[in-house]
């Protein structure tokens, strides 16, 4: 009788360990899936931020380029006016 009770207790312990391991595996899979989803969401957000920053840099670069081009044109007109002995307005018209 003792042996049967011991075998029954050992069997019950083994089954509870197996169930615990299955629950642990399910929890680990859920955690891994959640981490993958979080990583994907964070990468998408980072990509959007990088894209917006790139657009802002491109717009600022274009604005600065236009300002510099205007300054270069004005400086060239002044030099031309000095060289050709005319006004800056006349030099810009050329």
Alpha helix segments (H runs only) across 1-94:
2-84, 88-93
Say how far apart CA 90 and CA 73 lie, in whole Å. Answer: 13
Interval 24-46: pLDDT, tens: 778 888 998 999 999 999 999 99
Say how far apart CA 33 and CA 31 lie, in whole Å. Answer: 5
The predicted pLDDT at position 85 comes to 86
Say how far apart CA 9 and CA 48 lie, in whole Å. Answer: 58
Low-confidence ranges of the chain (pLDDT < 70): 1-20
**Which tokens is 92 given?**
């810009």
Read off the pTM. Answer: 0.53
The predicted pLDDT at position 28 comes to 82
């Amino acid at each position: 009788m003792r042996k049967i009770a011991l075998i029954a207790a050992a069997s019950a312990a083994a089954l509870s360990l197996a169930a615990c391991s299955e629950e642990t595996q399910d929890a680990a899979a859920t955690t891994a899936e959640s981490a993958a989803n979080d990583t994907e969401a964070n990468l998408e957000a980072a990509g959007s931020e990088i894209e917006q920053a790139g657009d802002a840099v491109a717009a600022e670069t274009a604005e600065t380029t236009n300002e510099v081009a205007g300054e270069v044109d004005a400086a060239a007109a002044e030099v031309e006016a000095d060289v050709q002995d005319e006004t800056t307005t006349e030099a810009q018209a050329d």
